[in-house]
Structure 1
């Protein structure tokens, strides 16, 4: 297969940085895919999860995440390791960029809706009392987001008003504002909970909504911590700091956004106590199985030694 090598366009520091990215992505992708499969299996096949409204968007996010990790992250692992791209033809690079951008932004927009949905479930659950309301308010918005991203990026990539440059395959430096919006909406949601408690002078039903709040806090940690350094540098540039300061750091921190995809399934399991308990049972069973196999092997070896000694 013909390949194109981009090694010559990178300096030694960039090559070392890409090698470091290769090690991190390679160490995370297998646990991430296994966590996605386990979470999807539990959420889809378990009737208790399947009947809950708040599991619907989470299942869609996990499906998109699994597809992105299996396709795009695997390609980046190959590229960071070999500095070679098998996307030689301009159209193949265009199609790859189309799916990369579309799924990347789609996941962020869906998670923004995920936070809005939690707000509705906590404060306006009466909006979901009828079947028609659940269809309009709960089930249709994710489809609208998916269709919007599909149409928008189809026009951006395949009906451009300019000429695309395919000379190098380098990830563009794009930080969607949904990163900030999701975090701000999370803070607003938490303040709204406390304000509602103070206004009506009665305790919020923490036991009822605790799982939703803990889930969104745990998962939103990814959207707050990982993109914060490049966001801070961009903010300082807007405030007047020289663009030469921190520009190289910002370009390299672009790849940190991929950790969100890789860690999302793991954080999802960590945010759901039912999935954590089920995973602990599976790991305990595997540990017992391995221990039984080891004990059987030890007994077998001991019996063989006794038999050999007797024969002598």
Structure 2
């Protein structure tokens, strides 16, 4: 979704190199953060079994795929001016990750922000095994696989005779943007993209307002601290999406409303790029929302410092 052409005539000459450096730095720093968060959520039994962490784990995994495959392919294309490596398998995977996984992460983000209302204010809906099966696991599976499965068909199964082009972003694009019915393209734009982006802030803001309004009542409950952590976590992650995705949605809505040139000078060089930024920031937002994880990180840094203090000049064991 956030891919863009390599040539921009309306941007400062220094911007492409600066942009490349910023995204490359983001990739380098975010990957260790992803791995650390994965380790914490999967290694700690309590974190692994907590219902509110299930959707976060899948959301992190989807964004991790974007960071390790979609972003490097895009940056490499902009640097070279052609796709490398260029073969059908690489092109298909790139198209799937850039579309199916990106939209899948968006759907999961919406479900995460909505599910918090259930986990905080309607715990009776997940109080039994049968209720958890429907209101948590089945819906989680649906929102996790909904758009990826659509794009499995659109990318790997549907054929429109497209020719993969080495000098085109995403090797030329998928059939949806070539010969798909207009209604399907509109459905993809409005239901898979615009609707989740608009619902995420609505769900998150209403969740925060409900939380603040019922703070005193919740404070008398033993789950107060856990509720507060869930609110902080989803608020931070939702804010990332709101900041970097809503501007592009606003320009898109204005353009399809009849003002086709509105924001066209900033769409490709700036707004399209912003939709890729959340994948780099989400692991850090998750990190900040988990106090125990922050403590482990401090202990890790302290351990490395102590090791250096004991062996100040050693380079081997």
The answer to whether the Cα contact below 8 Å between 1:39 and 1:269 also exists between their aligned partners in 2 is: yes
Q: Does 1:279 align with 2:293?
A: no
- What residue number does 1:204 align with? 218
| TM-score w.r.t. length of structure 2 | 0.78
The gaps in structure 1 that reach 5 residues or longer are 1-5, 298-312
Q: How does 1:234-273 map to 2 (within 5 A)?
A: 234-237=252-255, 242-252=259-269, 253-273=271-291
In 2 relative to 1, CA 164–74 (structure 1 residues): closer, same or farther, beyond 3 Å?
Answer: same
| TM-score w.r.t. length of structure 1 | 0.79
- What residue number does 1:156 align with? 154
Query: Structure 2: how far apart are the matches of 1:15 and 1:81?
Result: 14
The answer to whether the Cα contact below 8 Å between 2:37 and 2:283 also exists between their aligned partners in 1 is: yes
- What residue number does 1:29 align with? 27
How many pairs are equivalent? 285
Deviation at 1:279, TM superposition (A): 0.8
The gaps in structure 2 that reach 5 residues or longer are 178-188
Query: Structure 1: how far apart are the matches of 2:120 and 2:261?
Result: 45
In 2 relative to 1, CA 12–33 (structure 1 residues): closer, same or farther, beyond 3 Å?
Answer: same
- What residue number does 1:51 align with? 49
With 211-220 and 225-234 compared, the bigger mean Cα shift is at: 225-234
Q: Does 1:184 align with 2:182?
A: no
- What residue number does 1:70 align with? 68
The answer to whether the Cα contact below 8 Å between 2:255 and 2:261 also exists between their aligned partners in 1 is: no
Deviation at 1:66, TM superposition (A): 2.1
The answer to whether the Cα contact below 8 Å between 2:62 and 2:102 also exists between their aligned partners in 1 is: no
Q: Deviations over 1:58-108 (max 9, x none)?
A: 112222222221222222232233333125456753442123201100111
Query: Structure 2: how far apart are the matches of 1:239 and 1:77?
Result: 32
* Aligned with 1:230 (options 242, 248, 260): 248
Deviation at 1:239, TM superposition (A): 6.1
The answer to whether the Cα contact below 8 Å between 1:21 and 1:80 also exists between their aligned partners in 2 is: no
- What residue number does 2:120 align with? 122
SS in 2 for 1:204: helix
Query: Structure 2: how far apart are the matches of 1:153 and 1:15?
Result: 36
Greater Rg, structure 1 or structure 2? 1
Deviation at 1:267, TM superposition (A): 0.9
Query: Structure 2: how far apart are the matches of 1:20 and 1:163?
Result: 38
In 2 relative to 1, CA 191–162 (structure 1 residues): closer, same or farther, beyond 3 Å?
Answer: farther
Query: Structure 2: how far apart are the matches of 1:37 and 1:133?
Result: 32
Q: What do you get for the CA RMSD once the two structures are aligned?
A: 3.0
Query: Structure 1: how far apart are the matches of 2:130 and 2:13?
Result: 55
Deviation at 1:159, TM superposition (A): 5.4
Query: Structure 2: how far apart are the matches of 1:44 and 1:151?
Result: 25
